[in-house]
């Protein structure tokens, strides 16, 4: 499919489901991409990027606030670079690198505990209006439970991880990611917000185009590791292809293969939900945005603003779904329905690679 257009059957399914999702208040538009390590096979857009205050069509090169996909694409990959350069042992206590880290008495949080969301932190949102104070509070406040006792998805884990990358590298997170990841991969439209240029291409969320949707990331004067990255489906495809190529982009090695394999391997404690270092590996029954048809080795991540990204090394396939879920008048309760929709769209996109049509139930017309 050299023109990046889906087959007529796939295109018809994508369009009918997207129209129904728009009718049900899940989105106004979306961009999807899918391919393998050496190809972008599908790159498709539909609907509106913006409906208020001005209407604008969705385009294949529309720029999205990818929200928590920041955690996986930027912060986790930055850790891979740190490991490659001998700056970090992920099994070391965080206190080795951040002596002021808040810890539960008798419990020593390891770096991988932050990346698998079993550090003992709850998902408390820090609200200090002083940017440096917000990060300081996230690093130093004690956890609520001993580490590895339970899984609780928490943005705080990646605020701490982003701060740690800066301490290890001596660079701010955007500069580090740009130098070691985005520029080498020629991800020209990928940057940390706020975005101040090309706003006609930027998809608004519940806040104006270019403004970071995540409140904590928006408050801090510099980028943090939990959210705030802006990107396109095309740029994210370049990232996924590098992952599926063992860390290589053409003749350029971005991440060492052994480091990449470690990052993609399940490393959460036994009996807790399956996570790799920074990525989700849970089953469809535990993760409603996960498409059917993926292998047990697939890694993925979602974004609160309405996105899903999955990479499957067994199938040698990736799928990217970017929507404007939160750009909806009246803020409808569409979080769960958006995840189910993205799972179904992902199943449709993966079906040519598996020989089966995605089997998530069709969206309700009610």
Q: Is the confidence at residue 3, as pLDDT, over 70?
A: no
If one counts every other C-beta atom within 10 angstroms of the C-beta of residue 219, the result is 18
Q: Is the confidence at residue 2, as pLDDT, over 70?
A: no
Residue of 101 and 107 predicted with greater confidence: 101
Residue range 302-327, pLDDT digits in tens: 999 999 999 999 999 999 999 999 99
Q: Is the confidence at residue 221, as pLDDT, over 70?
A: yes
- DSSP H helices, the chain, are 8-23, 69-70, 77-84, 111-115, 131-140, 155-169, 173-177, 215-219, 233-244, 257-264, 335-354
Give the dihedral sign, CA 146/148/152/156.
positive
Encoded tokens for 322? 């970017």
What's the N-to-C CA distance of the chain in angstroms?
Answer: 35
Residue pair 90/164 in contact by the 8 Å Cβ criterion: no
* Burial class for 87, CB neighbours closer than 10 Å (0-12, 13-18, 19+): middle
Residue range 12-28, pLDDT digits in tens: 999 999 999 999 999 99
Encoded tokens for 270? 């036994």
Residue range 104-163, pLDDT digits in tens: 887 799 999 999 999 999 999 998 878 789 999 999 999 999 999 999 999 999 999 999
Question: Residue 72 gets which letter from DSSP?
Answer: I
Q: Is the confidence at residue 235, as pLDDT, over 70?
A: yes
What's the pLDDT score for residue 359? 46
What's the pLDDT band for 331 if we cut at 50, 70, 90?
low
Poorest-pLDDT segment among 163-172, 300-309, 354-363: 354-363
What's the pLDDT score for residue 127? 84
Share of the chain above pLDDT 70, in %: 95
- Domains by residue range for the chain, with CATH: 8-68+173-354 (3.40.710.10)
Strand partners, 13: none
Chain centre to alpha carbon of residue 212: 15
Q: Is the confidence at residue 366, as pLDDT, over 50?
A: no
Average pLDDT over residues 167-173: 97
Spatial distance between the Cα atoms of 117 and 230, rounded to a whole number of angstroms: 23
Strand partners, 299: 311
Strand partners, 361: none
The kind and range of the H/E element at 266 are none
Q: What angle do CA 310, 312, 315 make, to 5 degrees?
A: 135
Q: What is the mean pLDDT of the chain?
A: 94
Question: Residue 174 gets which letter from DSSP?
Answer: H
What's the pLDDT score for residue 346? 97
């Amino acid at each position: 499919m050299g023109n990046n257009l889906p087959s007529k059957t796939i295109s018809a399914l994508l369009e009918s489901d997207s129209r129904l999702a728009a009718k049900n208040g899940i989105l106004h538009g979306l961009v999807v991409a899918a391919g393998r390590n050496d190809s972008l096979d599908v790159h498709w857009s539909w609907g509106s990027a913006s409906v208020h205050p001005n209407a604008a069509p969705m385009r294949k090169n529309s720029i999205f606030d990818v929200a928590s996909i920041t955690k996986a694409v930027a912060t986790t990959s930055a850790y891979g670079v740190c490991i490659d350069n001998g700056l970090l042992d992920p099994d070391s206590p965080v206190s080795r690198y951040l002596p002021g880290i808040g810890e539960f008495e008798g419990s020593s949080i390891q770096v991988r505990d932050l990346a698998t969301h079993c550090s003992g932190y709850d998902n408390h949102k820090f609200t200090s209006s002083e940017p440096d104070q917000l990060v300081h509070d996230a690093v130093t406040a004690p956890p609520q439970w001993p580490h590895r006792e339970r899984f609780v998805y928490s943005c705080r884990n990646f605020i701490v991880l982003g701060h740690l990358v800066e301490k290890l590298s001596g660079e701010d997170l955007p500069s580090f990611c740009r130098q070691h990841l985005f520029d080498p991969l020629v991800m020209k439209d990928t940057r940390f917000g706020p975005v101040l240029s090309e706003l006609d291409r930027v998809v608004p969320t519940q806040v104006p185009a270019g403004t970071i949707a995540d409140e904590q990331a928006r408050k801090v004067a510099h980028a943090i590791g939990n959210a705030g990255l802006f990107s396109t489906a095309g740029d994210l495809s370049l990232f996924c292809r590098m992952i599926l190529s063992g860390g290589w982009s053409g003749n350029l090695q971005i991440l060492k293969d052994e480091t990449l394999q470690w990052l993609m391997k399940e490393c959460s404690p036994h009996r807790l939900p399956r996570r790799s270092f920074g990525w989700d590996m849970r089953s469809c029954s535990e993760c409603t945005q996960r498409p059917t048809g993926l292998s047990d080795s697939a890694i993925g991540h979602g974004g609160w603003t309405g996105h899903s990204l999955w990479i499957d090394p067994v199938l040698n396939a990736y799928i990217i779904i970017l929507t404007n879920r939160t750009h909806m008048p009246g803020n409808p309760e569409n979080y769960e329905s958006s995840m189910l929709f993205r799972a179904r769209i992902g199943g449709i996109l993966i079906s040519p690679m598996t020989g089966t049509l995605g089997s998530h139930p069709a969206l309700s017309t009610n």
